Structure 1
């Protein structure tokens, strides 16, 4: 049968791209299972597009989702449309398998066989017709086109031999059991491993050295070694400089051989991976090993659905963690000392005059680069010393984590160069935000609301814009009551901050920190409540915040009475501000906002996400319009892993 444009026959699956579409009848299918508590739900099934055909016309598939209700439901004999699927080689038999890929928004639609008409009576499903086929889809799947509907009808007709076999109860029973050779990645046991012991389709933890980094738009590739050999890895051969061609191609820094694994890091891990540099020793968690397109072993670190903000990358500094790794590195360097030396110092003095000149120029160029590098390092050290002197009086009562991460200035945070990127077609693209994390030194120069008692707000009654969005997403006002079940009160306030080293008399770059309940509980170690009704808690809040911002609150209230609004230039005498700069970890992310620019609440967002289960409805289309449009997302910063101590003895 003729497939719609963009669809690939199953026997050509290995030559298809990662965004190809497929059509077939379901031979076997399992009910959704959750391989591990809190993990993704998974459906295993097999589709075929030729009957009877041979084994090349049948391909196993895996669809994963955070919730079981996000996955399509189907039976043997149903017809499946799969869009944007990724081809992976899984299992001990190296089976080609279609797997949904969240990065390219895969889609799946299952059409019940019993509701698909015969081709001779399916004219109303043609272009211009009014009839629509019944289907069950995974989240965010668009409805079928009229051409796809007719292809589904013709596929069912072609699958008549399969449907005839499935009339036998025993055959149907076996088909509903699906494949017994699960290709779900295995977890369990002691996962920390050497690269030499890694194999396909498993989860591992690894201690290694970063050899190279490569930044993508949403991901970061880390090339990591632990100086053990695995023959399934890419082979990096020892070559002289003259064997590398291309104006921008750099020689491989080593180690040579099959000792380095490429690991693709997705958010939130990618944000931390961007802070790594060559030579860093790292501990990587939950590396999912798989086969690359060039049939080599590679890995990926995905977001953990149970702990979405957990970062599986840490720098290693303790000798107990690095003992074995450094020993293997020293052994490798000793073994390859001759090669390493030959790459640094020319051992043969050329006899030809022209060659002598060439060698001298090359050596001079190398020495110039070394001097420039040394000068850059001295400049970095000098700036670090200047910053250290300028902020030597840091607030000791504010503690921030990730002390091994370098400091960023406010200008570097606000003007993040990664907001501008280049698409695959070569066009420049400005992103609304970048999921990233920083460590910086700040000073609070304003806060909102004015009164501390308003730092919490009731969640019982959503605002007008939130209520209308929630109603339009769910279709009934009952969900307004459901949206308030997370608690009666929530933290909600803002801190305007500037760089701790901002020069006096200037109006420096500033940005607001958004403090919601989760961030406030970490920062203040206090639960939200009705502050107006609890003066003791309000008093405790006032004292804690005075640790952070000194006399800012009192000066803000006094200046307000004089008709003066904050913020003011740095060092303005009218402000008479007395507070200390502090170290803070800051995370950047995006939040969807309504047409007035107000962020939707978490409950409203959840309601819209649920409505996206069926994008063919008005509610689903509205949810896609809001959550799928980059213009509706607002760039936001919040503190994380930063806490105010309770005592005031050091103030």
Structure 2
């Protein structure tokens, strides 16, 4: 008997005989899943015998899809079985035969549409296959029957697990298994199943399709039918166009994207779908209509199966129809939250939806900007005004400023070997020329040639990147607990390339939504200054400084930590405090002391204590750092204590943000940290 096999001795009439092995630790029976005694989304370990197999087929993405049907000793009496859905590359797919034993670890419990509970793979799932023809009788180990593992399958079965494989293979009732020829025929037939899934851009009259679509407005529900307007954000020239009325206030003739011309007359406050010929009207009869009336809302993603496409009564535009066939409901609301179970076709539709709305915003701005620019040109032409020419004095000032800028960079390059830099902080552009904060803050001047002489234009910002030696003299928000903020989850979070809009949550959002259900991201800012003495230190004012924003990705790079609710997660907060101490030394301690003194002075003056903020109640929408240091006493004007930290090398980017209303706003120059990392 192999060493470590999970067999126990028990006395019987004929003496000592080995008893049956029990289910391995941390494994569960299939019946537990079938009876829904486990919660959705749980990761479970199971051992089952192969009953059916659908061969791998492409999904439209990078993975293939395969399904193995399993049953075990707990489910054989009821003739129940469990589907195990596998999404992997074709090279990593397991190859099975009828009667093989499959050992699965870390599979996720799911419920797809109206089907029973099933299992689905995720990144942590491991699948090990034991060939039925090689499994020996107990108590011998089934290790000899174990197939080689793919690169995705890192689980090494224990002796208890291999012993149970032998037991289940020889113990289970094989009358429920098909013959080998029947099993192979079913598997081959699974490849010949005609896929009816289609995109709206490809649908044709007289054919039936399975669709994954976005509900563009609230469904209309009549007595025995329901009408849906749906889209998958692809365009079909045979669809009825939907027009947008949002630019009606602009003058006619400035609408290159067709938002204001033609289309259905649907109130825009009811329509949340795309405009143009991207939406299909679908008429649904019973039993589908009842499900739509009770479950389907505008903004949801739904699966529609067996939709007939044909021209409507007017004979001009294609429409969809879901007839009353058997009692099967062919409408189902889809879940967009779980990246492991989401349909690849839904994922692609979400990506098209996101890209459409980004493009729409950009195009609307272009339409409005074109109108405003036209008005300005006509006004300028009527008044005969020209841009004021630059005089000789201003030109000489700009030349001296540029020379000083160049000299400062050369000086800093010479001082680099002499600086005592913090070698626990590195940046990605080590070979780039060095810049000073003063030089980075210099405005960029652009000369525009005219008929008589050049016109000088001072740009509000430029897109540029710099490498600089700096030290941190302040940070924002003032409390480390507020360095991460929570936002609501969106349907685009499942996309790996999703970028969040630059708006944080309001305090009302935080009060209404549970903090545990929010997505947490880094968002803070650092105030930086040059580490070496300059002309400003000789009495000409404070040294030049800038505020550098640190967004979620750059903060992950800087700290090596994922954002969390720092008001609750003390472990992440302590790690963050240690990492930032490496960066800014005693700065946090001095800011805390200064804030305490300021609060005491304020409370003494007002005689009230109600201004103390309850920790975690609200979050800043977006960090907007002040123009100057929040606590002057940090720099020695108070109790004599000064910031003690070591300068370091960092990467700084300059960019612009448009603030204010579309026609009344302006571009504001901003700076951000990038490519900088704190090492332990």
Structure with the bigger RCO (C-alpha within 8 Å, sep 6+) is: 1
TM-score, normalised to structure 1's length? 0.36
Larger Rg: 2
Greater helix proportion: 1
TM-score, normalised to structure 2's length? 0.35
